[in-house]
Amino acid sequence: MEADSLSPVRRVVLINSVHDGLPMYLMTALQLPNRVLELIEAKRRAFLWTGKEKTKGGQCLVAWE
């Protein structure tokens, strides 16, 4: 199934279950640098709003810091 065919609600569920689980598992053993955490967060936001790996600010419905 293509990610962009998922509804925003289903994307949130997928992010919370899978995309958050992988970094959490890694962080149990390692201290990740802030830059890595920022990249993970950027990918999570892009997937939420567009279903793709990258997004532009105009596609987001919330102003992110």
Q: Answer whether residue 8 shows pLDDT above 90.
A: no
Tell if the pTM clears 0.75, that is, is over it.
no
CB atoms within 10 A of CB 11: 19
Which residue ranges make up each domain of the chain?
A: 3-59
pLDDT digits (tens, 9 = 90+) for 17-65: 776 777 778 778 888 889 988 888 888 878 777 766 666 655 555 555 6
What is the pLDDT averaged over residues 11-17?
Answer: 79
How far is the C-alpha of 32 from the C-alpha of 35, rounded, in Å? 8
- Whole-number Å distance between alpha carbons of 49 and 29: 30
How many angstroms from the chain centroid is the CA of residue 30?
20
